[in-house]
A and B are shown apart, each in its own frame.
Chain A
Amino acid sequence: MYSRLIKNKERFFGVSGLLYRSNVLMYDRASESLWSQIKGEAVTGKLTGTRLEVLPSRLTTWGKWRKLHPESLILSTDTGYTRDYTKDPYLDYYARQSGFWSFFKLGPGEKEKELVVGIELDGQARAYPLELLRQQGEIRETFGGIELRLRFDSATDSLQVIRADGSKVSHMLAYWFVWKGIHPQTGRYK
C-alpha cells in the first residue's frame, strides 16, 4: 500500500492495462505517468523517478484479522460494478507456473509465483522467500552493511523488517518473477 500524496498533492490512480516485465503498470490520472506497481515508482511521463511512500499492510486471513481488530471495517462488494465477487478471477493465474514470457532462468528450488519479501536499501534489492521466513520465524543478516532482522509471527501474520536500532525498513510482498523483473540485479536469501 502507498500514500497517494505526491509533493503534498493528492493523486488518483487507474489501471493502464500495460505490463513491463510482468509488472502491472498503473497510472496517475493527473499526469498520466505510468508507475510500476511493485516499485511504487513512476517509470514514464512527467513524474518519472518519483516514488510513492510505502505504507504498512499485511496479508492475512479474515479470521485472524477480525479477532485482532474486532472494530475493523471490511470492503463491501457494493462497489458500483457488477462482478462475480464470489470468485477470484486470477485463480487460474495463481495456479499456473508460467507468465507469458520468461525473463530469466529460475535457480534451483525457485518458483516463479512464490511470494518473496522484497526490500530496497541504497538502490540495492534483496528478496527473502516468504515461506522460508514463515518456517524460521526470523531471519537475521547483514545486507549492504546494515544489520537486518526479518520477523514473521504466524499467529497474527505480522511481518517486520527492522534495523539494529529498531527502525523499520519498508518492504513489499511480490511474486519472485515479478520482483526479479523490476529488479534484475536483486539478491536472494538462501
Chain B
Amino acid sequence: MRYSGAMKKKTTSRQNRLLLVLLIAVLPLLIAASWDFSKSSIPTSEIMGGGPPRDGIPALTSPKFVPAAGVRFVRDEEQVLGVILNGVAKAYPTRILSWHELVNDYYLDLPVLVSW
C-alpha cells in the first residue's frame, strides 16, 4: 500500500511539473494568438501575462465626479492626481485609480486618458 501510494505521489508531481512546463511553453503562444503581433517595435517574446486577463482590471469609461466642497471620503493628506485643463479642475484619488488603472475621460470636448 505504502509503495503504491508513493508511486502515485511521484506520478502526480511529475504530471504537475509537465503541466507547468507546458503552460510556460504555451502561454506566450496564447498571448501572441490573441493580439496582433504582425507589427511591433519591441521583442514580443518579452510580453508577459501580468496576472489578470484582458479587461480583468476594468478601465473606467464614464467616470462620475462630485464637487470638492463638502467631500468627506478623502482625507487631506491622501494622494491624488490633479489635472487642470480647458478651465476644468479634477482630482483622482490614487487609491481609486489603482483599481482601474485607466480612466477614459473628457475635459470639455477634449478626450483624455488618465493612466495610473
Contact = CB atoms under 8 A, between A and B. Distances in A.
A174 to B, nearest CB: 11
Interface stretch (A8-16, A135-143, A145-153): A8-16
B58 A63 contact: no
Contacts of B95: 85-88
Interface of B: 31, 35-42, 44, 46-69, 71, 73-85, 88-104, 110-115
Given A14-B54, A69-B84, A74 B66 contact: yes
B102 A26 contact: yes
Given A34-B35, A69-B89, A73-B68, 20 more contacts: A1-B113, A14-B55, A15-B56, A26-B101, A26-B115, A32-B35, A33-B36, A41-B41, A43-B42, A45-B40, A49-B41, A66-B76, A69-B84, A72-B91, A74-B93, A75-B64, A75-B103, A76-B64, A85-B96, A89-B99
B47 A19 contact: yes
B25 to A, nearest CB: 18
A35 B67 CA distance: 32
Interface in A10-59: 10-21, 24-27, 32-34, 36-37, 41-46, 48-49, 52, 55-59
Contacts, number: 232
A81 B58 contact: yes
A63 B76 contact: yes
Contacts of A69: 68, 82, 84, 89, 91
8 contacts: A2-B113, A10-B111, A15-B102, A17-B55, A61-B79, A62-B91, A65-B91, A72-B82
- Sorted nearest first, the 7 A-B pairs with minimum C-beta distance are A63-B76, A73-B65, A88-B95, A69-B89, A4-B111, A72-B89, A44-B40
B79 to A, nearest CB: 6
Contacts of B82: 57-60, 65, 69, 72, 157
Given A15-B101, A65-B91, A88-B94, A74 B65 contact: yes
A154 interface: no
Nearest to A16: B54
A59 B79 contact: yes
A71 B57 CA distance: 30
Given A16-B54, A71-B89, A74-B74, A89 B98 contact: yes
A77 interface: yes
A5 interface: yes
Nearest to A75: B92
B77 A20 contact: no
Nearest to B111: A4
Of A20, A74, A88, chain B has the most CB atoms within 10 Å of the CB of A74
Contact of B96 (A5, A60, A79): A79
